């Protein structure tokens, strides 16, 4: 998994690629997200365009992120969610937990 972060219009945009399967990279992602929340940067978009697959560790990070952001008056929007990951969210009944946008432009307009 690779992590690329930029800020755009006061929103932290985290672009992920590869497989989100846990391990040290998942810990790095979690740490980076928590760092932004600690800095009161609570508008976050996670772009999943390059993500091939995600397991329970990846889902856990997303659930933890959305929960922490809501507790800090923030918002998480997922974008470029593939059919494969969308099906995973539906099967696990988590699709209603996340705000999902078609693309980055749509996500930024929601803040």
d(CA 22, CA 109): 31
Neighbours of 5 (CB within 10 A): 14
Residue ranges covered by each domain of the chain = 2-80
Whether the per-residue pLDDT at 26 is higher than 80: the answer is no
Neighbours of 76 (CB within 10 A): 24
Per-residue pLDDT tens over the stretch 34-76: 899 999 999 999 999 999 989 988 898 899 899 999 999 999 9
Architecture of domain 2-80: 2-Layer Sandwich (3.30)
pLDDT of residue 95: 93
Q: CA–CA distance from 62 to each of 54, 66, 67, 69, 74 (Å)?
A: 10, 6, 9, 10, 14
Whether the per-residue pLDDT at 22 is higher than 80: the answer is no
């Amino acid at each position: 998994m690779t992590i690329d972060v930029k800020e755009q219009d006061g929103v932290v945009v985290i672009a992920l690629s590869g497989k989100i399967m846990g391990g040290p990279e998942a810990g790095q992602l979690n740490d980076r997200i928590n760092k932004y929340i600690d800095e009161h940067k609570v508008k976050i978009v996670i772009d999943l365009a390059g993500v091939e697959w995600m397991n329970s560790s990846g889902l856990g990070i997303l659930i933890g992120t959305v929960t922490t952001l809501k507790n800090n008056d923030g918002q998480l929007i997922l974008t470029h969610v593939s059919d494969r990951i969308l099906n995973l969210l539906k099967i696990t009944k988590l699709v209603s937990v996340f705000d999902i946008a078609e693309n980055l432009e749509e996500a930024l307009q929601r803040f």
